[in-house]
């Protein structure tokens, strides 16, 4: 019964996402672009969500996304590789880097891990500025070509983007990547690996005493997280056709956290819902110019005040909430609610 | 070389003051305050207005910055952090809340003060010269004041009743509460003190290098580095981390005039944390 319900829900969602939305906005490339960006951002946030799932707060996702974007951009502009190969390359290199960096850093717990991953975002930005021969420094890499045709054994799977309406092409590519990403995420969470991840979230020491290879699992989680960031970064760069050191910053890293949190950490779809709701509402506030970040931060703060468990914790009318109970605290809060 | 060390001491002393505030909040309430850099910037702007625009003497500006920021710290705790900590069971909530607060403060600073870089005339001019090392009097004043405030802070924490209560709370809030420490009131005091330290540091910065609204995040990140070097939640660690980062930064800018200094610092930090995950003086954090 529950499976059927999930299947119907997913089918319904796909119908809206793949048919209704593009049809509604067929004459509004700007709106379509915003939806595309939401897709990518939700893909990147999915990685952050997975780190939340093993009880870590990853504030370096912006750095990984920037790395992925630069790998793709450099491969296209310097090596003349096609976009599709660079997408794979971006994923691969981001994963390798995340494993190299993750092995020492994942030993750090709680707030330490967050602080160091925050520095990673900044490291990525500085690295992009410090190697101008490869990255053009702060001027960035401009005028990247649109993705070309993807051919396998003579068959054209995806035609050249120049021959298509590029807004639709990017929309569907982004949708495809996002669906793929969330399918992977769903599969990971609802598998043996997912159970092991959950054991890390509850109590790492206990898990390790039961023979769970904790360090290895953490690296796997970070690698998956980084792969999402790499793919998302590369795709985002392709849509913008340019990349700068400021394409993904510290601010973006915290926004990814916010998206996950707004959606809710209890469900796989949290990152998706959170990103779409927040990013779209943010875009609607476009006219506010300088007040935009202020309003964004006010949303962030009021959410923490009134809806600390995320949007998906709200109960739908006429149905029991299917959201799993919220994560247990990793560290006990310093101040308890009751006082003598 | 002497010049490099002097610059390191000057930056380090200031950094230590900032790191103290962050560490105080962290050890008291397990809150990682992302807005700390923004508070520092805010302190700088208060000084800019009181000292630079209203032409009041510098000590007045210093006190004004300290008091304004203490008030803001008080408001933070009572309006934002206390309700959130009461309601939510997760640590992440306070972290995200502070990240939101950081954005809020930054955009408010941007709206009210604009994005221009603001400077004020030096508090005292003149330069001492000892064996080829230039010691500007303004910088000596900053070093002196920083160490003075650090000393006052340590004495306060060590010998006064609220200081003892704060230390008890940092060790174990629950037990402190059982022993009759009013943890809610002391949490407010802790926030006010921490914000005040950031404000003082900001006030001392303005006469020398000026202030602009975009500095905050970068200062916050630097503060995290200091805290990671020294060890989170320990006063001695914050001071050691602050001085260490100041020295390393000064040496780095001397040997690598390009932008690579912080890249090297980050790489070094990763290696360092692989060896000492709890920093120089930190205790194991769960």
| Alpha-helical segments (H) within chain B | 2-29, 36-47, 58-75, 82-87, 91-113, 137-159, 161-171, 173-178, 183-209, 216-230, 235-255, 261-275
The single residue listed with the structure tokens 């006219």 is: A287
A 77-136 residues with CB below 8 A of B?
A: 101, 104-105, 107-112, 114-116, 118-120, 122-123, 126-127, 129-130
pLDDT of A302 > 50? The answer is: yes
pLDDT of residue A333: 43
Nearest residue, CB atoms, A111 vs list B221, B266, B285: B285
pLDDT of A260 > 90? The answer is: no
Give the C-alpha distances (Å, rounded to integers) separating A252 from A74, B151, B217. Answer: 22, 38, 12
Between residues A122 and A330, which one has the greater pLDDT? Answer: A122
**CB distance A300–B91 less than 8 Å?**
no
Q: Please tell me the distance from the alpha carbon of residue A37 to that of residue A71, in angstroms, as a whole number.
A: 19
Q: What is the mean pLDDT of residues A239-252?
A: 86
pLDDT of residue A335: 41
pLDDT of A299 > 90? The answer is: no
Query: Mean of the per-residue pLDDT values for chain B?
Result: 87
Query: Is the CB of residue A262 less than 8 Å away from at least one CB of chain B?
Result: no
Q: In the 3-class helix/strand/coil scheme, how is chain A assigned residue by residue?
A: CHHHHHHHHHHHHHHHHHHHHHHHCCCCHHHHHHHHHHHHHHHHHHHHHHHHHCCCCCCCHHHHHHHHHHHHHHHHHHHCCCHHHHHHHHHHHHHHHHHHHHHHHCCCCHHHHHHHHHHHHHHHHHHHHHCHHHHCHHHCECCCCCCCCEEECCEEEECCHHHCCHHHHHHHHHHHHHHHHHHHHHHHHCCHHHHHHHHHHHCHHHHHHCCCCHHHHHHHHHHHHHHHHHHHHHHHHHHHCCECCCCCCHHHHHHHHHHHHHHCCCCCCHHHHHHHHHHHHHHHCHHHHHHHHHHHHHHHHHHHHHCCCCHHHCCCCCCCCCCCCCCCCCCCCCCCCCCC
pLDDT of B263 > 70? The answer is: yes
pLDDT of A325 > 60? The answer is: no
Q: What is the mean pLDDT of residues B188-211?
A: 90
Query: Mean of the per-residue pLDDT values for chain A?
Result: 82
A331 pLDDT tier (thresholds 50, 70, 90): very low
Of the candidates A299, A296, A316, the one whose C-alpha atom is nearest the C-alpha of residue A307 is A299
For residue A116, the chain B residues in CB contact (below 8 A) are 228, 269-270, 273
Percent of chain A surpassing pLDDT 70:
89
Q: pLDDT tens digits for B92-148?
A: 778 888 888 998 998 898 888 888 888 888 888 888 888 778 888 888 999 999 999
**CB distance A119–B225 less than 8 Å?**
yes
Of A29-33, A105-109, A286-290, A310-314, the least confident: A310-314
pLDDT of B74 > 90? The answer is: yes
A95 pLDDT tier (thresholds 50, 70, 90): very high
A253: which residues sit within 8 A by CB, 6+ positions away?
A59, A60, A61, A62, A63, A117, A118, A121
Nearest residue, CB atoms, A297 vs list B100, B227, B269: B100
Q: What is the mean pLDDT of residues A68-78?
A: 92
pLDDT of residue B54: 87
Q: pLDDT tens digits for A18-35?
A: 878 888 877 778 888 888
Instruction: Return left, alpha or beta for A300; rule: phi > 0 is left, psi -120 to 50 is alpha, else beta.
Output: alpha
Of A250-259, B82-91, B211-220, the least confident: B82-91
Find the residue in B nearest to A328 (Cα): B90
For residue A297, the chain B residues in CB contact (below 8 A) are 100-104, 107
Q: What is the mean pLDDT of residues A72-86?
A: 89
**CB distance B260–A115 less than 8 Å?**
no
Of the candidates B93, B189, B125, the one whose C-alpha atom is nearest the C-alpha of residue A264 is B93
For residue B77, the chain A residues in CB contact (below 8 A) are none
Helix or strand run (H / E) with residue B233 = none
Q: What is the mean pLDDT of residues A294-317?
A: 73
**CB distance A308–B187 less than 8 Å?**
no
Q: Please tell me the distance from the alpha carbon of residue B74 to that of residue B69, in angstroms, as a whole number.
A: 8
């Amino acid at each position: 019964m529950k499976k059927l319900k999930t299947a119907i829900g997913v089918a319904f969602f796909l119908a809206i996402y793949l048919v209704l939305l593009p049809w509604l906005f067929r004459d509004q490339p700007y709106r379509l672009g915003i939806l595309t960006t939401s897709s990518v951002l939700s893909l990147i946030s999915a990685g952050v969500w997975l780190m939340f799932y093993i009880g870590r707060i990853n504030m370096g996702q912006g750095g990984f996304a920037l790395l992925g974007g630069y790998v793709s951009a450099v491969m296209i502009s310097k090596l003349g590789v096609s976009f599709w190969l660079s997408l794979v390359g971006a994923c691969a290199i981001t994963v390798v880097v995340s494993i190299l960096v993750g092995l020492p850093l994942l030993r750090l717990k709680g707030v330490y891990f967050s602080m160091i991953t925050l520095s990673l975002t900044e490291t990525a930005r500085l690295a992009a500025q410090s190697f101008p021969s490869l990255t053009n420094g702060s001027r960035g890499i401009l005028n990247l070509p649109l993705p070309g045709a993807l051919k396998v054994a003579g068959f054209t799977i995806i035609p050249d983007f120049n021959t298509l309406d590029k807004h639709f092409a990017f929309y569907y590519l982004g949708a495809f990547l996002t669906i793929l990403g969330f399918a992977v995420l769903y599969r990971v969470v609802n598998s043996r690996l997912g159970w092991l991840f959950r054991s890390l979230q509850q109590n790492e020491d206990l898990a390790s005493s039961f023979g769970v290879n904790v360090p290895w699992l953490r690296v796997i989680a970070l690698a998956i997280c980084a792969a999402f960031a790499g793919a998302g970064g590369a795709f985002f760069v392709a849509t913008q056709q340019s990349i700068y050191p400021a394409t993904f910053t510290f601010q973006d890293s915290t926004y990814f956290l916010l998206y996950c949190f707004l959606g809710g950490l209890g469900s796989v779809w949290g990152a998706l819902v959170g990103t779409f709701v927040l990013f779209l509402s943010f875009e609607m506030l476009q006219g506010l110019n300088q007040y935009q970040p202020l309003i964004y931060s006010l949303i962030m703060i009021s959410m923490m005040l009134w809806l600390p468990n995320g949007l998906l914790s709200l109960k739908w009318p006429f149905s029991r909430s299917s959201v799993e109970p919220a994560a247990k605290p990793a560290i006990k809060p310093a101040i308890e609610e009751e006082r003598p | 070389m002497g010049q490099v060390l002097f610059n390191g001491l000057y930056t380090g002393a200031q950094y230590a003051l900032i790191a103290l505030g962050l560490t105080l909040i962290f050890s008291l309430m397990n809150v990682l305050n992302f807005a700390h850099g923004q508070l520092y910037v805010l302190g700088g702007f208060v000084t800019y207005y009181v000292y630079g625009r209203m032409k009041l003497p510098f000590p007045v500006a210093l006190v004004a910055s300290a008091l304004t920021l203490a008030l803001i710290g008080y408001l933070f705790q009572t309006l934002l952090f206390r309700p959130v900590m009461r309601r939510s069971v997760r640590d992440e909530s306070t972290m995200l809340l502070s990240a939101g607060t950081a954005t809020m403060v930054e955009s408010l600073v941007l709206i009210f003060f604009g994005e221009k870089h603001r400077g004020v005339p030096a508090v005292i001019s003149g330069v001492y010269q000892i064996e080829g090392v230039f010691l500007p009097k303004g910088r000596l004043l900053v070093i002196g004041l920083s160490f003075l405030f650090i000393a006052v802070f340590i004495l306060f924490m060590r010998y006064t009743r609220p200081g003892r209560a704060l230390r008890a709370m940092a060790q174990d809030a629950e037990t402190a509460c059982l022993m009759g420490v009013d943890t809610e009131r002391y949490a407010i005091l802790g926030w006010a003190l921490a914000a005040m330290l950031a404000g003082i540091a900001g006030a001392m910065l303005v006469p020398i290098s000026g202030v602009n609204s975009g500095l905050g995040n970068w200062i916050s990140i630097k503060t995290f580095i200091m805290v990671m070097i020294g060890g989170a939640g320990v006063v001695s660690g914050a001071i050691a981390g602050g001085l260490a980062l100041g020295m390393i930064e000064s040496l780095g800018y001397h040997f690598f005039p390009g932008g690579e200094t912080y890249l090297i610092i980050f790489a070094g930090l990763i290696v360092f944390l692989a060896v000492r995950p709890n920093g120089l003086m930190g205790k194991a954090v769960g």
